[in-house]
Amino acid sequence: MDFTLNEEQRMFRNMFRDFAAKEIAPHAEEMDHQETLPPSILQKAANQGFLGATLPEDYFGAALDSVSYAMLIEALASASVSVAMTIASHVSLVAMSILAHGSDAQKEEWLPALAAGEVIGAFALTEPDAGSDAAALQSRAVVQGEEVVLDGVKTWVTNGATAGLFLVFARGAEGVDACLVPRDAPGLSVGYREPTLGLRSVSFNTIYLEGCRVPLANRLGAPGQGWTIAQQAQDRLALAVAAAALGVASSAIDVAAQFATERIQFGVPIGQKQAIQNYIATAVTEVEALRYLLYHAAWQADQEGLDAFDVSVVKVFGARIARSVTNWMLQVLGGYGFMEDYPMARKYRDARTLGIVGGPTELHSFRIAQHVFAGRDLEIAL
Amino acid sequence: MDFTFSPEHTALRRMIREFVEAEVAPIAAELDREHKVPYEVMRKLGEIGLLGVCFPQKYGGMGAGETGYCILMEELGKVCTSTATNVGAHIGIGAMVIHLDGTPEQKEKYLTPLSRGQKIAAFGLTESNAGSDAANIRTRAVREGDSWILDGGKVYITNGGYADIITVMAVTDPALGARGGVTAFIVETDWPGFSVAREEDKMGIRGTSTAELVFEELRVPHENVLGKVGEGFVSFMKSLDMGRLTLGAACLGGAQAALDWSVRWAKRRRLFGAELAHKQSVQWMIANMATEVEALRSLVYRVAWMVDTGQPFTQLAAMCKMYGSEVASRAIDMALQIHGGLGLTRDYPIERAFRDARIAEIFEGTNEIQRIVIATNIFREHGVRIRP
Amino acid sequence: MRIVVVLGRVLDPAGIVVNARAGRVFVNREEYLLQPADRCALEAALRVKDELGAEVVALPRSPLPDDDVLRQALALGVDRAIYLTGEGLRQADDAAMVRALKAAIERLGGADLLLTGATTLDSGQTQLGPRLAEALGWPQVTAGWSLKVADGRAQVVRQQGSQYVLVEAMLPAVVTLQPGSLKLRYPDGARLVNIYKNVGEIAQALETWDAVELVGEPLTPLVEGRGRDFPPPRERGARAAGSAAEMAQAAAAALRQRVGR
């Protein structure tokens, strides 16, 4: 088993880290406190190819493999989990869905613009009464001649405020349909932005579809294929969430370890205290485990592809480690960890969201159990 | 062993609950959002005697003991951690030192208005080089005739930005250090030489003032020395012990609130064809939360009883703070998970409680210090002396 | 000046669940509140005391198994509270209670103003104030929203139809107040601790009197309770159609049939 990165991957990793350190880290605190994400930062990311990270070069993407993509999200999240999740949602949920399921015309129309960052993608699945539960989806898609008419309300739409393209899921005649809805489509309005605990630079919006009309040609994939498209998109995102978890956790350890060498109490740096050593040792162990779990999953995604089981294992573990590590590294910082002019509080808040964003941990645990019991011929229900 | 609350404590709880629901609950979100201190609520609490809940009636208090104070903190903690923190800093560490070690004249002059909420108190110990290592303070007090001149500063002082009276720890003999070299002073914040340098921007308890204080040739009359010169550390240790117990009570309230919210949400929210209450993942979380809350409740009120009956309680108070803060953190974390997206939005109180809870494991002595206190006490009983 | 306030307690509705289908009331948490309207009457009394100076005495509205409500009143600021006991008092209804209260007031040496709640939260009855006024021979103003005392008069704002009117009554008078009419004060902490611990001056302010002894004869109730039941299930009505005149005819016919005439 060869665990080394190839030369290209090593080069990418350095490039991603440099970018994060130079272009994102200096602005991370301000972005979080102002709850903004300056378009200039996204544009710089687009110029590097990040907004088309895994798209093929034909569509002006950077054609990164999954391992490199995971490293990108990890590096971005080390500086700002908000930036990482903005880009990951754009790439994994929207752009890659079009790549996987779009017609040639759809790919031509949207992928170059998405890769260039001219259009930001938003994913509109969740509804007030339907989070993880497909059967509860109430938005409707009715075919009328050469158009699809969409009606419904979508909540927690990532990138809602800035998106030029919405991937909307609604119930059609044959099941759930997926539709590409440009921002200027008649009948689409973007509403309330959710103020959040973490990921404060990400815009989560409620959008309203009121007799929203798009050409039939904007339907993505076959009628009734929408739920599969949504599931696959979320599985891709789950991997990105785990990468973000790795980034926030490992950067939290860096901050805490540095602090522990500088903070003197009782005449010595607190790094000399066994309790502090234990917190750091546990955190490092957890992060190492996550690192290899994540990169193995990413590598596997490029080999045979990932199934629900692999994705869920990585996501559950990632969310747990992000939470645990940021919590204990905050404790190492003591009072400073609670102040918003140090980075730890922000990392702590951002990390907490990762157990819910991309599907709550409990749902993923169920999928893991489902896989285990299916292998023993027992079908389990939620 | 009679585990029931006395009639006066039962009546007190009822009174406090009514007050908290009418006066505190409606403003809790606003305090956090606007970063405001609950001045009005503090005044009203003072008017009905609650800011002196554990102080003698002779000095404007209620005489309801430490148990009464725990009840107040628990009920406040259920609804607004920020308000509980303002109250705790005022009663539990600010005014408490005057109650424990003040002369009758000092109590008459300071404790009475503090009990009635006419003046607000804070406790000035922490400095940038002296957090957990409290003995490392540098603020200096030099005798000059019938006064002392204070120079130095304090950081992270709760209520510091608006308190009228601050009990300040200063070094009176650098050679002696903590044992014999630190003195407690009652400082009035409108005296020349006292200033507030800045307010901290905190992740949680944003309805509190956490201030940096500066003392520049601050003249304090000798009659404002609290306790004996050089014995400040002893005074402050005693009041910190009591503060730990009541912080545990506030955490109890927070944990109970997290449990109540979770049960209510689990009853209402339907997912995959049934209410969350029917999912074992949720049932397990709620059962665990409820068990910890009960254990904490028993611990807190038992220790309150020990204080009220004059028994030693240092080790147990440290346990209340340590266990209480961790129970509250676990409970609100589970509540957040149960609420899903609703737990992440600032339009709902869960995420505020999540941010608020985090400080409890850090201030009033980090949980690391609490564990040192507990272990030290245990080993001392076995003849082993531990140094931090 | 002496003001008598008549107070009662009610089971906290938040602690009970009524299941009409099962025909049962589940008391999950047995906690009692001061009747909300009586609490407003008490607040009104204390405001008069604050403004003009008065002695405020609390009496029970109905037979009480314990004196908690009176202790609450003392904590809130009344000067005296009288707990009534006596043989057979437990069965007393409003009519019987009024006789006990009248006797208690006489024993106090009379009063200038009697305040109580206009209505009870549980039974929704409004008769106690008027019954007391009749028994005492005093004028009554009921369902007030505010009270002011000046120049030997009670000035009460009450709602009449869609208007508010100011009614004046010469003292002594009975005034009843609506629930939610006044912003309520909180008890004084030290008074509360002391009355519940039974220490200090305030402990002397709570007395127990034998109501039967006061009245001099048994307090036989006027009304005998024979049982409790849930109201019968509501039946569906019938629909009438057609012009207004036709609908009116049909409705009248249906009602006649129902009532059996």
A159-201 tens-digit pLDDT: 999 999 999 999 999 999 999 999 999 999 999 999 999 999 9
- Top residue of C9, C186, C191 to mutate, by most chain B CBs within 10 Å, is C186
Using a CB-CB cut-off of 8 Å, the residues of chain A touching B362 are 331, 334-335, 337-338
Dist. CA C46–CA C51, nearest whole Å: 9
Intra-chain end-to-end CA distance of chain C, in Å: 58
Closest-approach residue (CA) in chain C for B49: C189
Q: Which value, in Å, is the radius of gyration of the alpha carbons in chain B?
A: 21
CA dist C201 and C31 (Å) reads 28
Contact between C123 and C183 (Cβ < 8 Å): no
User: Has residue A305 got a pLDDT over 90?
Assistant: no
Residue B292, C-beta contacts closer than 8 angstroms, at least 6 positions apart: B255, B327, B330, B331
Q: What is the model's pLDDT at position B388?
A: 65
CA dihedral B288, B294, B296, B298 (to 10 degrees): -160
Total domains in chain A come to 3
Provide the token pair at A374.
Answer: 């299916």
Chain A: touching chains (3 or more CB pairs < 8 Å): B
Number of Cβ within 10 Å of residue A136's Cβ equals 15
> Whole-angstrom Cα distance, residue B158 to residue B125?
11
Helix, strand, coil shares of chain B as percentages rounded to 5? 60, 15, 25
Element (H, E) at A147: strand A147-158
Residue type (1 letter), A52: G
For the stretch A220-266, pLDDT in tens is 999 999 999 999 999 999 999 999 999 999 999 999 999 999 999 99
Segment holding A274, helix H or strand E? helix A274-303
pLDDT per residue as tens digits for the range A326-377: 999 999 999 999 999 999 999 999 999 999 998 889 999 999 999 999 999 9
Chosen from A35, A268, A338 to mutate, greatest number of chain B CBs within 10 A: A338
Q: Which run of H or of E encompasses C250?
A: helix C244-259
Here the tokens at position B157 are 């002082």
How many Å apart are CA C128 and CA C59, to the nearest integer? Answer: 13
Q: Which CATH class is domain B234-381?
A: mainly alpha
Name the residue in chain B with its Cα closest to that of A204: B345
CB burial string B243-268: b at 16+ within 10 A, e below: bbbbbbbbbbbbbbbbbebbbebbee
Angle at A124 between CA A123 and CA A127, to 5 degrees: 145
Side-chain-side CA neighbours of residue C90 (13 Å): 3
Tell me what the mean pLDDT of segment C146-154 comes to: 96
Q: pLDDT tens across B7-51, in order?
A: 999 999 999 999 999 999 999 999 999 999 999 999 999 999 999
The domain limits of chain B are 7-120, 122-231, 234-381
Could you tell me the mean pLDDT of each successive run of 10 residues in chain B, 388 residues long? Answer: 91 96 97 97 96 97 97 98 98 94 97 97 94 90 97 97 97 91 96 97 98 98 96 89 95 98 95 90 97 98 95 95 98 97 95 98 95 94 87
Q: Which residue does chain A place closest to B333, by CA atoms? A: A352
The pTM (predicted TM-score) of the whole model is 0.92
What phi and psi, each to the nearest 5 degrees, are found at residue B186? -95, 115
Give the pLDDT of residue C234: 80
Mean pLDDT of A307-317: 92
C2-215: what fold?
Answer: Rossmann fold (3.40.50)
Q: Which residues of B are catalytic?
A: 364
CA proximity to A83, closest of A207, A248, A197, A214: A248
| Domain with A302 in it | 228-374
Compute the C-alpha angle C164/C166/C172, nearest 5°. 140
Of A266, A349, A353, the CB nearest to B388: A266
Give a yes or no: residue A1 inside a domain.
Answer: no
Confidence of residue C134 (pLDDT cuts 50, 70, 90): very high
- Would you call C189 and B50 a contact, using CB atoms and an 8 Å cutoff? yes
Same domain, A147 and A106: no
Please indicate, yes or no, if residue A2 is contained in any of the structural domains. Answer: no
DSSP B278: G
Chain segment A45-81, per-residue pLDDT in tens: 999 999 999 999 999 999 999 999 999 999 999 999 9
- Can you give the three-state secondary structure of C177-196, one letter per residue? ECCCCCCCCCCCHHHHHHHH
- Is residue C55 a contact partner of residue C1, using CB atoms and an 8 Å limit? yes
Per-residue CA distances from A328 to A245, A323, A334, B321 (Å): 15, 9, 10, 18
Q: How high is the pLDDT of residue A306?
A: 82
Average pLDDT score over residue span C50-59: 97
Q: b/e for C118-153, b at 16 or more Cβ within 10 A?
A: bbbbeeeeeebbebbbebbebbbbbbbbbbbbeeee
Q: Does domain B122-231 have CATH number 3.20.20.10?
A: no
First-to-last alpha carbon distance for chain B, in angstroms, is 37
Considering the domain B7-120 in this protein, what is its CATH number?
1.10.540.10
A337 lies within 8 A of chain B by CB:
yes
The single-letter code of the amino acid at C120 is T
Using one digit for the tens of pLDDT, what is the confidence trace for A141-161? Answer: 999 999 999 999 999 999 999
Whether C and B touch (3+ CB pairs < 8 Å), yes or no: yes
| A54 shares its domain with A190 | no
According to the model, what pLDDT value does residue C261 have?
Answer: 59
C touches which chains (3+ CB pairs under 8 A)? B
Side chain identity at B341, as an amino acid letter?
G
Number of helical (H) and strand (E) elements in chain C, helices listed first: 8, 13
One domain, residues A192 and A264: no
Whichever domain contains A136, its CATH number is 2.40.110.10
Residue of B133, B367, B371 lying closest to A265 (CB–CB): B133
Q: Tell me if residue B387 falls in helix, strand or coil.
A: coil
Domain termination residue (choose one: A92, A116, A140): A116
d(CA A300, CA A306): 7
Q: A37: domain CATH number?
A: 1.10.540.10
Q: How confident is the model at residue A111 (pLDDT cuts 50, 70, 90)?
A: very high
- Does A340 touch chain B if contact means CB atoms closer than 8 Å? yes
Neighbours of B188 (CB within 10 A): 16
The two beta strands, B121-124 and B147-158, are: unpaired
pLDDT at A10: 94
